[in-house]
A and B are shown apart, each in its own frame.
Chain A
Amino acid sequence: MKKRMSKVAKKEARVAFAFILLPIIGFCIFTIGAMIFSFKYSFENYNIFTGESKFVGWKNYSDLFKNVLYSASFKNSIKNTVVLLLSIPLSMGMGLLAAVFVKSGKVKGGKFFQVLYYIPVVSSAVAMNIVWRYIFNNEFGIINLLIGEKIAWLSDDTLIKVAIIAKNSLNGIGTAMILYLAAMLNIPKDYYEAAEIDGASKVRQFFKITLPLITPITFYQLITGLIGGFQSYADSQVFGAGVQGAQTIVYFIWQRGINQSRYGLASAASILLALAIMIITMIQFKMSDKWVYEE
């Protein structure tokens, strides 16, 4: 094969390359090109009034952590983003429970629940956040009316995170359940039959067979959840209406970069975010063959 390509093969190679050319061009412009500029901006200071950029070295990066004007809100956005990640294990736990219940064959309508639980995923985040905001409203929200107390869900820095976590963990159940059900279908039936003959209880079977065998999917969800969670924005903007307690990293980048034209500072933050996400993806690559069961 390494020798010389035949005329036909050469022609085919040329055509094949032409066919993949558009995605490659798009990628070079909108991803690589943009990434390079983000990197460049992160070392520059952009003057809003003159429209000029000046090289400032690592200043934007150190400003993020040290400058009194930005460091508090940047650190706050990191903290919020990380705390809000709590909804991931919660939806995974509830989704797993739902999947096990449906799989146990004790209930009818497994398909029905599956379809219903997935609805929030296909719904618009904006519309859903608007409705949830109304449900959690401090004054006339249905939750406060039911409790009979005026709890400041939407304005308190801690409570708004509780509200977002509650909302997101419920909305994530469908995805987790579907993925777990699919993973469980791949477990060979004879494992359970053998365990049954040995007299292992259902609970024991779950911990000794099901749980270890679905670790790849658990891991997959954890990683995709982390990557998605790191990029959360609508929760801050629409549900939180920009209050401090709900500002995420991407909200910080949007606010400084797009809203206030501090491109340098926002780019530095976005480069750090990209790095964090790349590291998580690398960890996924490295770890997936270690603590994850594979055949």
Chain B
Amino acid sequence: MKKQYLNEPSPAKRVWSIVAKVLIYVFLISIALILVFPYVWMLLTSFKDDYEAMSLTLTLFPKKWIFSNYEEIWSIVPFLSGVWNTIKVEVSVIAIGTFVSALAAFAFAKLHLPARNFWLLFLMSGMMVPYAALMMPQYRAFYELKMTDTLLPLILPGLFGNISMMFFFIQYMKGIPNAIIEAAKIDGAGYMRIFLTIMLPMTKTAIAAQVIFWFTGIWNDYFAPAIYLKDQTKMTLQPMMAFINSNNSGGTNLPLIMAGAVLSSLPMLIIYSTCQKFFVESMAISGVKG
């Protein structure tokens, strides 16, 4: 009798293993195709003409490639000012908000702070309050202050920091040895100086990851901008996209809308494809630790 090794699979098992492999690939690839399809469809449609985009016969690729949609979109809506407004919100909120969050995280993680846990829980309790429950008073207050149709309602709340970002920084800063800070104190460095010259440089990977995260969040933010901005020239990108879409609910100018969707998604897709490691990792960390 031939001696069979423990690890050598029988023929039946080997066939089964191949079948399983094929099925797994089919599953994974079909989901991938379905998920990528909207982007492909969006891109291809943006090069079609109105008539073809709404035709009742299915054509995947444009019969005739039209590039004029990408020229027109800039003149039909103030698309450029949409981009510019979004960037204004991004830069002011992220620059100041990140600094404020990191500074607070430094105090929580490394300084002698009486009632530390109370303040931390106090701040974090806000994370379970839905925005919808805060929206009306905020809207009325900004309305009374004549700030609707300006970017201030989107900028001001962000200047006070971002609690989930702060929490992430606290976790990260806890890993930095206290000895470094003590040594700096002995050298006579003030707290702000320690923060600026030691903590910030040592947290830069965490900061980069969180900034990318927040940048994406603001770029894609729709609810608050849609509430405050009614004037087209004041709109950020997302409400502008929704506006173009609802003005064309009949489907006319569909390729134009798709061109807008391509342009508004492109920056995020570029950021994601270059920094996907950050996204995937911070996602995994937040879940496993949370």
A30 within 8 Å of B by Cβ?
yes
Contact A241–B276 (Cβ < 8 Å): no
Contact B238–A270 (Cβ < 8 Å): no
Closest approach, in angstroms, between the C-beta of B3 and any C-beta of chain A? Answer: 20
B107 within 8 Å of A by Cβ?
yes
Contact B42–A131 (Cβ < 8 Å): yes
Q: What residues of chain A lie closer than 8 Å to B111, measured between beta carbons?
A: 12-13, 15-16, 19
* Stretch of A58-66, A68-76, A157-165, A174-182 with 4 or more beta carbons under 8 angstroms from chain B: A174-182
Contact B36–A16 (Cβ < 8 Å): no
Q: Is the interface of A mostly helix, strand, loop or mixed?
A: helix
Instruction: Take A124-B241, A140-B55 as given contacts and tell me if A24 and B136 are in contact as well, using a CB distance cutoff of 8 Å.
Output: no
Q: What residues of chain A lie closer than 8 Å to B264, measured between beta carbons?
A: 124, 126-127
Please, how many residues of chain A have a CB less than 8 angstroms from a CB on the other chain?
A: 98
Contact B128–A277 (Cβ < 8 Å): yes
* Stretch of B22-30, B66-74, B201-209 with 4 or more beta carbons under 8 angstroms from chain A: B22-30
B226 within 8 Å of A by Cβ?
yes
Complex-state Cα separation, A23 to B215, whole angstroms: 19
Closest approach, in angstroms, between the C-beta of A230 and any C-beta of chain B? Answer: 7
A258 within 8 Å of B by Cβ?
yes
Contact B112–A20 (Cβ < 8 Å): no
A192 within 8 Å of B by Cβ?
no
Instruction: Take A119-B272, A182-B287 as given contacts and tell me if A41 and B251 are in contact as well, using a CB distance cutoff of 8 Å.
Output: no
Complex-state Cα separation, A122 to B274, whole angstroms: 13
Interface size class, chain B: 35 or more
A38 within 8 Å of B by Cβ?
yes
Q: Which of B122-169 contact A (CB under 8 A)?
A: 122-123, 126, 128-141, 157, 159-161, 163, 166
Contact A237–B268 (Cβ < 8 Å): no
Complex-state Cα separation, A214 to B106, whole angstroms: 33
Contact A258–B137 (Cβ < 8 Å): no
* Stretch of A82-90, A205-213, A249-257 with 4 or more beta carbons under 8 angstroms from chain B: A249-257
Name 23 A/B residue pairs within 8 A (Cβ), A-sorted.
A17-B107, A23-B100, A31-B129, A34-B133, A37-B140, A102-B28, A106-B20, A115-B280, A119-B36, A123-B269, A124-B264, A126-B220, A126-B239, A139-B251, A140-B55, A181-B284, A182-B284, A182-B285, A182-B288, A221-B287, A231-B132, A249-B132, A254-B135
Q: Which residues in B have some Cβ–Cβ distance to A below 8 Å? A: 17, 20-21, 24-25, 27-28, 31-32, 34-39, 41-42, 45, 53-58, 100-101, 103-104, 106-108, 111-114, 119, 122-123, 126, 128-141, 157, 159-161, 163, 166, 191, 195, 216, 219-220, 222-223, 226-227, 237-239, 241-242, 245-246, 249, 251, 254, 257-258, 261, 264-265, 268-269, 271-272, 276, 279-280, 283-285, 287-288, 290
Q: Which residues in A have some Cβ–Cβ distance to B below 8 Å? A: 9, 12-13, 15-17, 19-20, 22-27, 29-35, 37-38, 41, 94, 97-98, 101-102, 104, 106-107, 113-128, 130-135, 137, 139-140, 142, 145-146, 170-171, 173-175, 178-179, 181-183, 186, 217, 220-221, 227, 230-231, 233-234, 237-238, 241, 249-250, 253-254, 257-258, 263, 266-267, 270-271, 273-274, 277-278, 281
